[in-house]
Amino acid sequence: MQESPMKNNLKVNRIIKGYSQEQLAQLAGVSRQTIHALEAGKYVPSTTLSLKLSLILGQKTEDLFELEERDWQ
């Protein structure tokens, strides 16, 4: 659906924290499919969800999500 999905380090940080996709989904109040789509780079989250995920994973939002050259085009 998203033509140029944003690069993210969600999966690495989730594994570091020891959360499963299901657990992270429950904490963030979304479905497991949404977490999968985010990790696979198929979906770009809203500001609210990005901030929730950064709080849950104890990382800054800009460390979880990275802008790439193509995102400026």
Partner 1 sequence: MYKIPLLPGYFRWIGASLLLFTILLYLFDSQRRGIPFNMRTFVLVNETPFQETSILSMSEVDITLTVLLLSLLLGLAFITFARKKVEDEMMNTLRLYAWSWSIIFIMAANLIVTVLVFGIPFASFAILFPHALLVCHLAIFHISLRRLNAGVSYEK
Binding site for partner 1 (CB under 8 A): 1, 20-22, 29-34, 36-37, 40, 42-43, 45-46, 48-49
Nearest residue (CB) to partner 1, 21 versus 59: 21
Least distance in Å: CB of 68 to partner 1? 21
8 Å CB contact between 19 and 35:
no
Q: What is the DSSP letter of 51?
A: H
Per-residue CA distances from 61 to 1, 13, 18, 46, 52 (Å) = 23, 12, 19, 12, 9
Nearest residue (CB) to partner 1, 42 versus 70: 42
Least distance in Å: CB of 48 to partner 1? 8
